[in-house]
Structure 1
């Protein structure tokens, strides 16, 4: 089974890469996920996890995926490799999201 559920904050605004001539595109962002325990000096540490989300309506949710927003993501771990122009092999591990959940409300919505 390959299933991942993460809660974290966006490290920067999400980027939308639209496929040419199609409605389908991919949202790409990095999620900062806090670790459960503090480090030796008492500070919190986080893991920075790259996420991509394929969607036909990415342009509708992109304006809400802003730096610092708390979101939940579920999906699967995806790995791939590629060769650079200098013939070096690179490996990429990222989350391929199938669901994004907004976990904060705007301050003006709170009564």
Structure 2
């Protein structure tokens, strides 16, 4: 048995690059940064903050959602699989790229927060978008029941 499962929470490094295949399928790619905090060991050694950059690849509905709603600086929760591919560069050297193929994504940035230079998200999230908690739209009228004998 084997498992290839990745869970990441991090910040988007740049707006997604989205392209459409000839068949009309959307593919998005974007970098995600995860950061381990700095800390001090018991012997006094200081370990600095460390940031890892992950190359995310999103397909179909997730790619379209990312194109509309994900911007540089947003915080994301993603689940997916690690995939490594290789290619030959212009000099003929073999290069390797490790990517996270995203299966699910949740946007963790508050809805009203907009990264500098980014358009505000519009209501009506498409398929693959996370459910945002909704505030109560209707307030219940306050009832003045001073004669209630509640035990608490």
1:63 aligned onto 2:68: yes
Q: 1:22-101 counterparts in 2 under 5 A?
A: 22-35=23-36, 37-38=37-38, 44-56=49-61, 58-101=63-106
SS across alignment from 1:9: strand
Higher-Rg member (1/2)? 2
Q: Output the CA distance in 2 between the equivalents of 1:57 and 1:95.
A: 13
- CA RMSD, aligned part only? 2.4
Higher RCO (C-alpha under 8 Å, 6+ residues apart):
1
Q: Structure 1 residue 17: deviation in Å?
A: 1.2
Unpaired stretches in structure 1, ≥5 consecutive residues:
none
TM-score by length of 2: 0.63
Instruction: Quote the offset at 1:58 in angstroms.
Output: 2.6
Distance (Å, rounded) in 1 between the aligned partners of 2:56 and 2:66: 15
Give the TM-score taking structure 1 as reference length: 0.84
The number of aligned residues is: 109
Matching residue of 1:4: 6
Instruction: Give the unaligned 5+ runs of structure 2.
Output: 40-44, 114-132, 136-152
